[in-house]
Structure 1
Amino acid sequence: MTHRAAALLIALSLLCLPAWADEREWESHGPYGGPVWYVLPVGPPGRLLATTASGTYITDDAGLHWRLLDSELRLDGVVNQTADVAWGWNYQSLYRSSDAGLTWSRVESGGDHWGIHKLAFDLNVPSTLYLAESGSRSEDGAALLRSVNGAVTWTRLPLPSPPEDVIVTPSTVLVDTYDNLYSSVNGGTTWNAVFPDATVNLSGIAQDPANPSRVYCLTTVGTLYSSSNGGLTWQNTGQLDRQNYTLGGMAVDPHDPRVLYVWDSDGQAIARSENAGASCETLPSRYDFYQFALDPYTPGRIWAASAGGVRMSDAGGPWVRRSTGLPNTSVSAIAFDPRDPSTVYAGTRYDGLQKSTDAGDTWEDLGLDSAEVGIINCVGIYPKSPSTIFVGSWKGIFRSTDAGKTWSLSDTCPNGVYSIIAKSRRILAATSSGLYMSRDSGETWQPTGFNSDPVDALTDAGRGFLYLSYNRDIWLSVNSGLTWKRMGRAGMGGTALAADPLRPWNVYAITWRQLLKSSDCGRTWEPFDHGLFSWDNKSVMSLVFS
């Protein structure tokens, strides 16, 4: 990160650094962990798939390293039929793999699938498959389909209601619909309603992988039922605590049928029962989860797809990042340790605060809860003590005095913090209520001007030079913020500012999809993006010099 000139860095939806061989080019430096919609165990131990907006990724070492498998493939679910054969699906297509998930081919079968929820195969006759879908492009609508020739052709089964899920046991086919639970003993020719409690709605069904005849159904009020004969008869197993979440689904641990997992409909919580549902405990959860999967090989291991990448928890422990090699997370702020420029802090939109000690090659999670702090707008490092870190968001200023181990929220600084400048004698914060200052290392804050209106951006150029964006104008202070002078206007006003610490009269501003440069302290401006905004769907959120 050293160079004869200061290096300008930009936080888009990823962290970018300039390639010095050609200063008109930019390259990504993480941190990894952009949104992952599904994480899907497939094939041998340690192999998983991750579905992202950029395609499907694969890992063979339990998430330590990911690589892009197919940029065109996006899977919503996978079932493993044999050690090598797996079936996958998304909303409108069915796929098959014959090499344990390494390659996938679209199944060009009869019928036009639309709204696929689940695929299941007959345990006694592997060529017989069942497909639950919510609708089709034809006039037939939702259907449960059956194929007896390995998905070459399909037959529509006379199910009374649209299917949501399907389970095949050794003796029955069990289907969860929107209003009931149905069982068939003749491959779907006829059906019987078997839901044990018609007064409530069904939340989900699950099958014991070790004993396929044992199935469970869960109601939306938390009542759990079990069946040992494929759903023909049911027993009330217990009442789950549902005070902290709305029940949305469940799964049975493949290693211990007494261990059940239940999650809420929004992916915000997951609970674990070790006694077949008689009681349960809510597991620690810090991130916005989209989907959960139980590891088929490692007892007690849960995988989660989240807005911040892939997470893993063992035996109910903390959620550990497993995102190296996945698409980058959405970075919204950058800061450097003033004593060690190879130490970089990246504030994110969905994944809290990340830290790198090797100039962005690898990253670690500092543990600031994204649910608590929200989207991070800015990060500041106190020069007298780099273990003191400030994070600004719409919820206010968070401070840590122990290098990110613990955090506290200031009660004297307003919400809506856009920028933080940490100097040895004073700390400044640009907020939605004006400019605030602290003279006691961030313990307390006082307003210091600009009429309680939003100060959109604030940057430090060193030598006492500070710039801020207020009411679409650029202002300059040459005495570390004691007094200010209006300089000029940067287009529509700067939403992010950075000044060259070696040449403080050179200042850069981000406006609506444009990077501007001024060489006269903000009086006049000219474009300086060099193709940066040719990247589709990227939003620049922060500028910083190294």
Structure 2
Amino acid sequence: MKGTSGLSATLSRRAFLSTALAGVGLIGLPPGLSAGSAEVGRVQALAFDGDALLVAGMSLSRSDDGGTSWVSETVPKASDILALATHPDRPGRIIAGLATGGLAISADGGRSWGARNKGLPGEAVTATAVAAAQPDIIYAAVRGDGLWRSEDAGSSWTFVMDRPWLIDAERDPMTLASVNLASGMGGIWIYAGTEAGLTRVPDCFCRWQDVQPGDAMAALASGAEAPPEAPLPAGEPIKALVSAPSAPQTLYAALPSGIWASRDAGVVWSRVTGGRATAVAVHPSDAEYILAAIDGGLLQSRNGGTTWTALAAE
């Protein structure tokens, strides 16, 4: 199951749809944009690198001016990017989970890439995350395999956890988030969004469990699991999940029914906007500033999803 991949860079450009489609409940288009003015792009992942916006899929686009203008960066291994991860303490470092297998890491904001796959299986990496308080610890979910961890910024990898068992089957994580909570082992939980719902595991990697109210570590020890008070909709895949670094209990999730938000680490959720959401990201120092891909449109909110404006990538 071990494999190491070389990288080749190809330059690719793709524009992303700039309009918010009817029924999503958004503000109108920014000045100068018209409906259908940009090509539809398949957005697989979003992230912030400091203040910069990152949009990934069949290509990688970066905006350093809040979405006014965009630059296409090289694409690692000429592969679709399934997942992105960054960390506030490592500006310029971008971690990409690849459809063709393994991870690629850029230290210069996406201009060049290197492989960091020693010991990691060669299958697609469906999700990746960086430990909230330890930026050199990286997690990767490998399709059909499980959860892997690197403690040296990707130089080497070890297997740490089987895939979560939900609704009578193992499920591949579609998204991972490292959440810095006092109730976690060492303060850290790893949350996973799957096609069958949300689950999490403390950094001791002892057992996947439901998100629940109260002292979750005590519940883990006793084996008793209380249901969440207001969970995400049952039966919907969780396409993306993020924890706000500046307010770790604030989570945002992208589902086919829209963008959902939690202010208590995933116990109580509320929908902040409708539409088919495929990706979401939150600014590292502003928990109310979010970027989302909804119904093919690239959108941003500065107030936690109360109102939205459309962006165009070119």
Higher share of residues assigned strand? 1
- Structure 1 or 2, whichever has the larger Rg, is 1
* TM-score in terms of structure 2 length: 0.48
Structure with more relative contact order (C-alpha pairs < 8 Å, separation 6 or more)? 2
